[in-house]
Every structure is written in C-alpha cells, then in structure tokens.
Amino acid sequence: MTRVAVLGLLALLAGCSVSRPLEDATGAEIYSMLCANCHGDDLEGGIGPPLGPRSNSAARPDSFLETTIEHGRGRMPSFSTSLSEEQLARLIDHIREVQEG
Ligand code: HEC
C-alpha cells in the first residue's frame, strides 16, 4: 500500500471510531479524545501538522481552526457531527492556551 493509502485508511478509521465527548467535557479532554492521535498529546504534530506555539495554526484566525475542525482538511476528517458549538469553542480555547504557553 502506498503511504497516502495508509494515511487515508488511518483517517477513515479514526473518523469512524471516535465517539462524542461528554457535553461538559473540557477543551483539553476533547482534544485528547479527538485530536491527540494525529496531532500529538502536546500539539507537537504527528500524522497531522503541529498545532502548538509557532505553528501555522498559531498564526491563523479562529475561523481557520473552526473551518478545519468542522469540514476537515485534506486527509483530516470532519468533526461537525461530533461537536456542539460550545464544545468547538472550548476546544479552540484549549488550543489557543497551549499556543500561548
Ligand atoms: C486522522 C488524523 C487526524 C485527526 C483525528 C485530526 N486531524 Fe487535524 N489534520 C490532520 C491532517 C493529516 C492535517 C493536514 C491536512 C492537509 O493540509 O492536507 C490536519 C490539519 C489540521 C489543521 C490545519 C493545520 C495547518 O497548519 O494547516 C488544524 C487546525 C487541525 N488539523 C486541527 C485538528 C483538531 C482540533 C482535531 C480534533 C478535533 C484534529 N485536527 C483531528 C489529521 C487529523
């Protein structure tokens, strides 16, 4: 299998196996449940690019994060059906806190 096919399969598996976080889950809990597999426990990157301090995402507006999480990007799956508006806002707050250190 090519590398692209392997990554595509991983994305598909991750997309299918995620369950919805609890409604009152913190941003950090949502991140570790839905994002850490691909972006690393500390946002350092892995299958997906780094999201932490000095990353591309750190320089982008909230709308970039929202669009990416809701609609997916490249091989990253969409999370529109797994997150409420409040959960999405908490998740983005968490990412911003880590980026600001
Ligand atoms: C199955 C693996 C996977 C999961 C799970 C995943 N991502 Fe991603 N993510 C990726 C990949 C791969 C990219 C790069 C997509 C591209 O540009 O082709 C990416 C890109 C991104 C980007 C854009 C980064 C940039 O600099 O362009 C952001 C922001 C992001 N992901 C946030 C998240 C968040 C938040 C979650 C959890 C809700 C998450 N991702 C879950 C794989 C994943």
Q: Return the domain boundaries, the chain.
A: 3-100
* CATH 3.10.100.10 describes domain 3-100: no
Q: Is the CB of 38 under 6 A from ligand 1?
A: yes
Q: Do 83 and 75 touch, CB atoms closer than 8 A?
A: no
Sorting pLDDT into bands at 50, 70 and 90, what band is 10? low
d(CA 32, CA 22): 13
Is the CB of 79 inside a 6 Å radius of any atom of ligand 1?
yes
In which region does residue 54 sit, left (phi positive, over 0), alpha (psi from -120 to 50) or beta (all else)?
A: left
Tens digit of each residue's pLDDT (9 = 90 or more) over 13-67: 555 555 789 999 999 999 999 999 999 999 999 999 999 999 999 999 999 999 9
The two three-digit tokens of residue 58, written as one number: 């750190």
Answer yes or no: is the C-beta of 35 below 6 A from any ligand 1 atom.
yes
pLDDT 10s digits, 59-99: 999 999 999 999 999 999 999 999 999 999 999 999 999 99
pTM, to two decimals? 0.87
Q: 24 CA distance to ligand 1 centroid (A)?
A: 23
Please, what's the largest Cα pairwise distance for the chain? 40
Q: Is 21 in the pocket of ligand 1 (CB under 6 A)?
A: no
